[in-house]
Structure formats: structure tokens, C-alpha cells
Amino acid sequence: MVAPGRGGAAIHCARDTRPQSDAAAAPPDVSVTSDYPMMAVTLVTVRSKVGLAALEANPNVADVFEDDVVTLQDAQSQALINQPEAAALGYLGAGCSMAMVDTGLNYLYPDFGPCTAVNTPPGTCRVVYMHDFNAQGDDGETDDRTRHGTCTSAIAAAVAPGAKLLGLDIFGVNPKTGDIEANTSDYIGAINWAIANKDAYNICVISMSFGGAKSFSKPCGTLPDAIAIQAARDAGIVSVVSSGNQRFKKGLSQPACAPAAVSVGAVYTSSGGSGGGGNCFDRGPLAADQVTCYSNSASYLTMLAPGDYVTAIGITQSGTSFAAPHVSGAVAVLKAAAAWATPDDIQSALTKAGKPVFDKANKITKPRLDLLRSLNILLDGALLTINGGAVGTNLRAVSLSPVLLRSAPAGATWCASDTNASPNDCCATAAFTGGNLTATLASPGDGNKTVNFFLRGGDGCGAPLIAKAQASILLEATPPSNVNITVVQGATYIDGVGYLTTNKVQVQITAEDAGGVTQMCISYSASAKALTKCKWEPFSPAPVALKLKTFQGRHVLRVTVRDTFGNEASAEQQLVRDTVKPKMRGKLQGVAGGGGNISLSWTAAEDAVGVAAYILVYRPAKLAPPSQCSTAPPVNGPWPPAVIPVPLAPGPGVLSADVGGLMTGTYYSFRLCARDAAGNVASGLTWGQQLA
């Protein structure tokens, strides 16, 4: 059990709460290399198989593990996690220190203040401690050639601009390979130091951006580094660990697999282009919050954070290494804002407030860091979502979905109001059952409605206030106005009725709405029931071509429009489609009177949509006027006597006419034609007689 690059080192974990560090009690060929008094873990050197067997047989030793090698996890994030909004409210992480367990930290970068040396000048230099924990000892450098630790530290420092930093260097150069690496015992030593010095530096978080090459499909709680991370959590320190870049989709690397660790995978920071790492490629266009192809994931991964194309100290890098310090900085901000918060509270705030992100590679959804919402749930005890996070609604009845930092006690009650912002004006009376709750918006009118939610430990205002939350939603219950539909091509309007002679028309729809009209639904039918059946489509104010089904008679053309929030309004047009000429019954009858007069009468014509008028024409000849009472001269041939129109009043009730001024001894031919509202003209009835 020889660790790569480090002699015959092994780690044993004690069965009780204190490690067996007495060298005199060690088996033959086993010597204690490092003792970690803050946890039940000891680093020993084993020089023979006999010594290893004796160590494993020791009743005080729970397990023996190889001192594994870990490597760096390499592969514009602040806005994505809502850090600027949190900082604007004064939440900067002041009072907390972040232990950056990495390759070191070059404090001369301005990201860490005007440092000339560690903690110099005091107060303004943010780097307050540095130490080399690698077994090779102090290499005399603030950071190695990768500048990995400086980058991760700068990211955490930007998220928590008021926090201090401690550079705990665990990495060294493997003399055989030249690689930058560390052993498990190196970072266990750093964790042990952080626990021992927690109060001296007010250490709130340990940040680790490295890992091994093995995939752990389940939490690795028995490993020595997992025991160390649990010890830190028991001491009140949150350990944030990068999930790894091996593209595992059903496992995490070590030490991210530790049950007490806050393991962090990476998402893309912005949209567009392509991305990936050395072992994979994501073909673009990418989307912000898309999980990177290289990011290790598993069902027990804690959360996600921006990790691709993250810029710090003027260097743009990618990897879960750079996702983890975003969360480390967030932990510092949260702990500084709520000194009473336990690691469980901090982790609950981080995960319950995060934006859900779906990983297509393994069909797992995990929360992406949202610092502002994490602060809200930590400080207020709850977050509130209305109607599942909808922007607006057209109904006053809304669904409330509170998320609590801690479980509600038995007997808890709740109250919600959009008119009272004070808990004393909204005394809880309804039993809190969790899940979705129903409330009614009471403030008058449309507009933005802010709902205040209060949770109490009992009934009435005298009960202790456990949690509160606030959320807003836009109420828009006013339907669209000035809705109109007009046939702009293919119809003739008479008294508001559109008369069609073709089934191919163009209609134009107009409507007004404060939030905008988004959809429309067009139907036409003679049946009121059939008018309700239509297909919704995107709203367009431009003319829309319609091909109407064949029909005769009266129909209704209806459009229903819908705004952003589902309010609907309708408008209708009466349409008449008539391609059939009026039917003329009976005969045209005439009686010649004296003085050059003739009296004509006829039977009313029939038409599906009604007769609009009659046309009466004549000419002084035995040749009857043309069909449909046309007065146009013939195109070819000799010109007969001109056709003379007789003025008649419009309407279907005109059933007689007197024609005067005729010449005796002349033959007159008459034609009567009925015309309907659509313009269809009957062939007509004829009558003729020579005037005596």
C-alpha cells in the first residue's frame, strides 16, 4: 500500500474519537508520520507486509487506506449567481475567513488588497495566513506555476469581497514526473489545522478544488478525508469541494464524495459558442446554466455553480475547480450574515434557493447557486413562489409554494396578504400543511401584487414568528379591448354586413392590451356551438388569408384574442355568402293606359339572403333588353335601340311601377330583374306591347 510519489505511507482511521498516535503502541515496521489531533485519523509509514498486517489487525484501527494522490481540477459568473445584488445590500462576507486549500496564493495581486506581505498592511491586506502543508515542506513560493490557487482564491474573494483568505498550500512537484500533485494526508493536515485554528481566524469555509481519478458512485464516508471533512463540519466549518472533471455522470471523485462535503459541479457561464474540456466537447450554441460535459455528477452531488470560462487575476479558465470557489465565497457571505447558522442551515439555504438545472447527460436536476435567494431563505427562514414562479396571472386566486429553511413544527399556522406587510397585521390562523397553499389577492385593481407570507409556531399574533417570505406577481385581469375583425378583401359591406361572392378572403384583426396580445383564434359558422371550436395561433395584425368552406346564407366570422396572461375578448362580423341569383316567380304584367303610360306589376322574387332591389329597363323595340337588365351596348354587331332604365326605389317591397312619356304606335319591350344584397342579378322577366 504505497502511495504514488510518497514512500510507504498509509492512513489509518481509529475506532474511537481519538487517534492511536502513540508511537510506542505502533506495530513493528510501522511509524507515525503525522498525527491529526482534531480527528480520528493518523498518517503512518509502513515498511513491510508484516507491519501492514499487524496494523490492520489492531483492534483500535477501523480501516487502513493508501495515501492517495489528488490533482488539480482545471478545465462571467457573478451576475449569474446574483452576487452584485447581494453585495449592493451590504452582504460581503466581512468577519469570515476562507481557508483556500490549493496550490498557494499570490497575495500581490490587487484582488486581495494592497498586500506587501501576509497580513501586511494589517486590516487592508485580505490574505491573513499562509502555510505549506505538503510533505516536501515550504517551497518558498506563494503559488506554483499553474497559479491555480491564486485563481480559485480570487474567485472566492470576488464573491465575498469582505472576507479574509488563508492560503493553505498542499501541492508540490513530483520529483519523478514533474507533475503538480498532493496526497490525501496533505489536505487532511490542512483541514486539521483549520479546525484547530477556527476561532483564531473565524474560519467559515474550507475550499478545495482538486480530486482523485476514481469515481465513487456512492458517498465515501469511511475514507480518511471524508472523516476529516466530517470533523470540520462538526466544528462548524463547511467544506466545499469540486466534483471533478473526469466526465463521470454516475459518480464523484475524492474528496467530493465525502458525505459532509458540499460538492460542486460546473455550468456554463454564458450562452453562445461551443465549449468543453480536454476529455469532451460540447457543440454549440451553448446556453447559460447548461451543465458542462466534463463536470462529474451523481445523484448525491450537492449543487452547481459557474465554472466555464471564468476570469480571475486576468486569466480565463474552465473546470469544476472554478465552480467550487463561487460556492465557498457564498458560504462566507451567508455565515457572515447569520452567525447563528449551522453548516446544515448553510447547505439548506444553498440548495433550496438554487435554480434547478437539468443535466441531459444523466437526467438529474441539481440546484445552481443563487446567492441572493440563499440569503433570503437563510435570513427570513423561507422563500415564496407564486403560481410556480409565473410572471403574471389573470386570476385573483393564486397558489403559494413556500420553501422553508427548517421544517415547520407541529401546530404551525400561516397567513398571507397582499395588503398587509407587517406580521402583526396578518395573524396566522390556517394550519400549515406544507405543499401548495391557496390565497386570494385582495388589493384593488390590476398591477404588481406583493404577497407577504408569515409562518408562526402557533395560532394568533401571540405565537412566535418562525419564518417570513415575500414574492410578487403581476395581476392583469383586464381583457383586450377594441377587438375588431374585418374582411379587407373578398367582401362588400352594406350596413355592417359583409357580402361574399368568393370563399377566398383576407381578414385583418386589431386589438389593444396593456401587456400585449399574443394569440388569436378565428372561426366561422352558422352554428353558435361551432364558433367555439378554433385553433389558437400567434397574433398577427397583418392581413390573414382564409379559405372558407362552401356555404350559402348567413354566417358569423368570429375572432377571439388572448393576452399574455390568458385574458380573452372576442369580436364578430356578419357574413353573407351568396352566389345564387334570386328566383323570380310568376310573370311580369303590364297594362297600357292613356296618354303614353304603362303600369307594370310583378310577384316578389325569392332569395336566400333577401332581395335588395329590382331593376326595370325597357327599349322601343320588339327585341327585349339584355339578360340581367344590362344597359351596356353590345360589343359586336348592329346597335339596337338603347336600353332605358326606370328609376325604382330600393327594397324588396317594390312590386309595381308606372312608366310614362311613351309614344303611341310604338312597341315597347320591358325586362324586370331582381338583385340581392350580394350583387347577384336574376336573368329577369319580360313583357312587351305596342302602345295604341
> Distances in Å between the alpha carbon of 73 and those of 225, 272, 295, 319?
17, 24, 10, 6
108 in Cβ contact with 120 (< 8 Å): no
Is the pLDDT at 437 greater than 90? The verdict is yes
**Encoded amino acid at 547, one letter:** K
Task: For residue 616, give the C-alpha cell.
Answer: 326595370
User: Tell me, what's the pLDDT at 3?
Assistant: 28
**Averaged over 523-551, what is the pLDDT?**
83
Is the pLDDT at 540 greater than 70? The verdict is yes
Residue 582, preceding peptide bond in cis (omega within 30° of 0): no
User: Tell me, what's the pLDDT at 37?
Assistant: 75
Residue-averaged pLDDT of the chain:
88
Residue 543, preceding peptide bond in cis (omega within 30° of 0): no
Residues that are catalytic: 102, 148, 321
What confidence category does residue 552 fall into, taking pLDDT thresholds of 50, 70 and 90?
confident
pLDDT digits (tens, 9 = 90+) for 217-233: 999 999 999 999 999 99
Which of helix, strand or coil describes residue 234? helix
What confidence category does residue 278 fall into, taking pLDDT thresholds of 50, 70 and 90?
low
User: Tell me, what's the pLDDT at 575?
Assistant: 84
Is the pLDDT at 600 greater than 70? The verdict is yes
Q: How many residues does the chain have?
A: 692
**Averaged over 527-542, what is the pLDDT?**
84
pLDDT digits (tens, 9 = 90+) for 153-205: 999 999 999 999 999 999 988 888 888 888 999 999 999 999 999 999 999 99
User: Tell me, what's the pLDDT at 265?
Assistant: 97
Q: List the beta bridge partners of residue 64.
A: 12
Is the pLDDT at 49 greater than 90? The verdict is no
pLDDT digits (tens, 9 = 90+) for 659-689: 999 999 999 999 999 998 888 999 999 999 9
Q: Fill in the DSSP letter of residue 120.
A: B
User: Tell me, what's the pLDDT at 19?
Assistant: 36
pLDDT digits (tens, 9 = 90+) for 296-325: 999 999 999 999 888 888 888 889 999 999
Q: Is the pTM of this model over 0.75?
A: no
> Distances in Å between the alpha carbon of 478 and those of 307, 383, 514?
44, 29, 9
User: Tell me, what's the pLDDT at 285?
Assistant: 79
274-278, 458-462, 540-544, 569-573: segment of lowest average pLDDT = 274-278
C-alpha to C-alpha distance for 183 and 54, rounded to whole angstroms: 24
User: Tell me, what's the pLDDT at 39?
Assistant: 64
Task: For residue 484, give the C-alpha cell.
Answer: 375588431
What confidence category does residue 494 fall into, taking pLDDT thresholds of 50, 70 and 90?
confident
C-alpha to C-alpha distance for 33 and 9, rounded to whole angstroms: 8
- Give me the DSSP letters along 463-527: SPEEEEEEEEEEE--PPPEEEEEEEEESEEEETTEEEES-SEEEEEEEEE-TT-EEEEEEEEESS
User: Tell me, what's the pLDDT at 1?
Assistant: 19
C-alpha to C-alpha distance for 135 and 153, rounded to whole angstroms: 22
Q: Smallest Cα–Cα separation from 322: which of 310, 340, 304?
A: 310
User: Tell me, what's the pLDDT at 530?
Assistant: 72
Look at strands 392-393 and 465-475 and give their pairing. parallel
C-alpha to C-alpha distance for 175 and 5, rounded to whole angstroms: 8
Is the pLDDT at 16 greater than 60? The verdict is no
Is the pLDDT at 539 greater than 60? The verdict is yes
Which of helix, strand or coil describes residue 226? helix
**Averaged over 457-481, what is the pLDDT?**
93
- Give me the DSSP letters along 7-34: TTEEEEEESSSS----GGGSPTTEEEEE
Among positive and negative, which fits the CA dihedral 380, 384, 389, 390? Answer: negative
* 431-440: long-range contacts, CB 8 A cutoff, minimum separation 24: 432/408, 434/408, 435/401, 436/399, 436/400, 436/401, 437/399, 437/400, 437/401, 437/402, 438/397, 438/398, 438/399, 438/400, 439/397, 439/398, 439/400, 440/396, 440/397, 440/398
Spell out the domains of the chain, with CATH numbers in brackets.
9-67 (3.30.70), 71-374 (3.40.50.200), 381-475 (2.60.40), 481-577 (2.60.40.10), 589-690 (2.60.40.10)
User: Left (φ > 0), alpha (ψ -120 to 50) or beta: where does 181 sit?
Assistant: beta
What confidence category does residue 656 fall into, taking pLDDT thresholds of 50, 70 and 90?
very high
